[in-house]
Amino acid sequence: MVKIATGLDIGIDVLSGTSDLNHTKSKKYLLFTPGPVNVKGNVRMAICKEDICHREQDFDVLLQSIEKKLLQLFEIKNTSNYRAVVITGSGTAANESMISSAVGNKNILIISNGEFGERLFHVSEVHNKNTFVLKFGWGKKIDLEKVETFIKKNKIDIIAMVHHETSSGLLNPIEEVGMLSKTYNILFIVDCVSSSGAEPIDLEKCNISFCSGSSSKAICSYPGLSFVVGKKQEFEKLKDIQAKTMYLSLYKFYHFTHTISQTPNTPAVPLFFALEQSLENILQEGVSNRHRDIFNRANILRMGMKKLGLKFLIDENDMCSVLTTVYVPEYIEVGILRQKLRKKNIIIYEGKGVFKDKVFQVGNIGELSLTEIQFFLDTLQEILQNFNKKLSN
Ligand SMILES: *Cc1c(COP(=O)(O)O)cnc(C)c1O
């Protein structure tokens, strides 16, 4: 172990010296993106743990540990009523697994107010004949009265929506929609891919039957794994619904998990090691401490960017703490801004869809030190000032 790990040890030593801005090979870029993220040294190490066989007890133990930690991450009180399954595949795999497995011939409503809501709709259209959609503008709040009217009128059996609509940064009201789902006896499915690990998600209070998450966003591990956490009773009921996909059958994942603590097909084992470590990191820190830490970083970035005269797409009170969506100032093009930042090893996102060329997005969920956040703000200031000067000359 010691012999093979020396190269890595060097990387990790430098990583923990957080003031170092001459990035090491592993930290070539500072990822101010909402995933992928810069991972912690021990997550990087975890990926090259032992070679194990996923049909042996080693893997059973690993999966059990991950499942237990996932239920802790969601701070579930009655853990015996909930289960979690892990899927090899990005967040969309978990979403597609839920949406293809839980609907049958019933009526599903997708509530959409952005890119990821639309994606849920497209996934549902592929699998479910009776797909309804209620669209609000991108970045616009969900009108709960409209939702209620719609579900009454169309006899909706299942609602699916996004918690944190990553395309705008808007945090959607899952508690309120959850109450509606309770009142009308509707199965409630939530895409929590970009909020899990960053925001409190109370499955019990919000009446959520299934929600999805991903390894590579606020959970702070590598991309490639996703998960579904849900009510045990609802997982059981899937047995009677004919599967619409073989590979992503949610019941099959559940069945394998609860009978033999394995996955139906070959799992990406090294990524499971990494996910376990990243969950352990969160639990060590404390779930709410982690949430607070992410929120604080977002605040530092937001205060810094406001000082530079930048304006945000949505009201700060409605934002998730994962990222900030910022209007591109008129004196610079977003592509050029990204390129200038990239030269300083900083990666940001640009807007998609209706937000293309209008906004950029700054994430704050990975291993980014306060020094690195300050470095980002200083670099951004320098770039913007240069362009602003040019414009006024
Ligand atoms: C990232 C993300 C997904 C999953 O996207 P992948 O391309 O599969 O990684 C789903 N929903 C939301 C809200 C997301 O932010």
Q: Give me the CATH number covering residue 302.
A: 3.90.1150.10
Q: 88: CA distance to ligand 1 center in Å?
A: 14
Is 353 inside a domain boundary? yes
Q: 349: CA distance to ligand 1 center in Å?
A: 14
Is 15 inside a domain boundary? no
Atom of ligand 1 nearest to the CA of 223: 9
Torsion angle in degrees (nearest 10) through CA of 104, 215, 174, 252:
20
Choosing from 165, 190, 191, 321 the residue with most ligand 1 atoms within 8 A of its CB, the one to mutate for a pocket test is 191
Same domain flag for 165 and 234: yes
pLDDT for the residue numbered 24: 55
Last residue of a domain, one of 260, 284, 308: 284
Same domain flag for 362 and 218: no
Helix or strand or coil: residue 188?
Answer: strand
Q: 356: CA distance to ligand 1 center in Å?
A: 18
Q: Is the pLDDT of residue 154 over 80?
A: yes
Q: 294: CA distance to ligand 1 center in Å?
A: 19
Atom of ligand 1 nearest to the CA of 89: 8
Alpha-carbon span 106 to 268, nearest angstrom? 33
Asked if 116 and 167 count as a contact pair (C-beta separation under 8 A), the reply is yes
Beta strands in the chain (DSSP E): 30-31, 82-88, 108-112, 131-135, 158-162, 164-165, 170-171, 187-191, 210-214, 225-231, 323-327, 346-347, 349-350, 359-363
Is 7 inside a domain boundary? no
Same domain flag for 329 and 370: yes
Atom of ligand 1 nearest to the CA of 163: 13
Amino acid, res. 103: V
Q: 217: CA distance to ligand 1 center in Å?
A: 9
Same domain flag for 268 and 309: no
Pocket of ligand 1 (CB under 6 A): 90-92, 95, 116, 162, 166, 191, 193-194, 214
Whose Cα sits closest to atom 2 in ligand 1? 193
Alpha-carbon span 173 to 261, nearest angstrom? 34
Q: Helix, strand, coil: what percent of the chain each, to 5?
A: 45, 15, 40
Asked if 269 and 181 count as a contact pair (C-beta separation under 8 A), the reply is no
Is 294 inside a domain boundary? yes
3-class SS string, 60-95 = HHHHHHHHHHHHHHCCCCCHHHEEEEEEECCHHHHH
* Angular region, 348: left φ>0, alpha ψ -120 to 50, beta rest: beta
pLDDT for the residue numbered 27: 81
Asked if 228 and 84 count as a contact pair (C-beta separation under 8 A), the reply is yes
Q: 137: CA distance to ligand 1 center in Å?
A: 19
Alpha-carbon span 161 to 293, nearest angstrom? 26
Last residue of a domain, one of 245, 268, 284: 284
pLDDT for the residue numbered 25: 62
- pLDDT tier at 90, thresholds 50, 70, 90: very high
- pLDDT tier at 391, thresholds 50, 70, 90: low
Is 124 inside a domain boundary? yes
Number of domain units in the chain: 2
Q: 97: CA distance to ligand 1 center in Å?
A: 13
Same domain flag for 229 and 305: no
Asked if 292 and 321 count as a contact pair (C-beta separation under 8 A), the reply is no
- Sign for the pseudo-dihedral over CA of 213, 217, 220, 225: positive
Whose Cα sits closest to atom 3 in ligand 1? 91
Q: What is the pLDDT of residues 18-37, one digit of tens each?
A: 444 444 567 899 999 999 99
Atom of ligand 1 nearest to the CA of 217: 1
What global pTM score does this model have?
0.93
Same domain flag for 296 and 386: yes
Q: 342: CA distance to ligand 1 center in Å?
A: 23
Alpha-carbon span 195 to 163, nearest angstrom? 7
Looking at every residue in the chain, the average pLDDT score rounds to 93
Q: What is the pLDDT of residues 201-230, one digit of tens each?
A: 999 999 999 999 999 999 999 999 999 999
Choosing from 88, 90, 163, 195 the residue with most ligand 1 atoms within 8 A of its CB, the one to mutate for a pocket test is 90
Is 231 inside a domain boundary? yes
Same domain flag for 251 and 186: yes
Q: 68: CA distance to ligand 1 center in Å?
A: 23
Tell me the mean pLDDT in the region 233-249: 96
pLDDT for the residue numbered 389: 80
Same domain flag for 108 and 234: yes
Is 375 inside a domain boundary? yes
Choosing from 31, 92, 115 the residue with most ligand 1 atoms within 8 A of its CB, the one to mutate for a pocket test is 92
Last residue of a domain, one of 284, 303, 335: 284
What percent of the chain clears pLDDT 70, i.e. is strictly above it? 93
- pLDDT tier at 85, thresholds 50, 70, 90: very high
Atom of ligand 1 nearest to the CA of 165: 13
Q: Is the pLDDT of residue 8 over 80?
A: no
pLDDT for the residue numbered 184: 98
Same domain flag for 161 and 226: yes
305: tokens are 């960017």
Asked if 167 and 117 count as a contact pair (C-beta separation under 8 A), the reply is no
354 DSSP 8-state letter: G
Q: What is the pLDDT of residues 167-187, one digit of tens each?
A: 999 999 999 999 999 999 999
215 DSSP 8-state letter: T
Atom of ligand 1 nearest to the CA of 35: 1
Q: Is the pLDDT of residue 368 over 80?
A: yes
Domain that holds residue 227: 45-284
Q: 57: CA distance to ligand 1 center in Å?
A: 32
Same domain flag for 258 and 327: no
Q: 191: CA distance to ligand 1 center in Å?
A: 8
Tell me the mean pLDDT in the region 2-15: 37
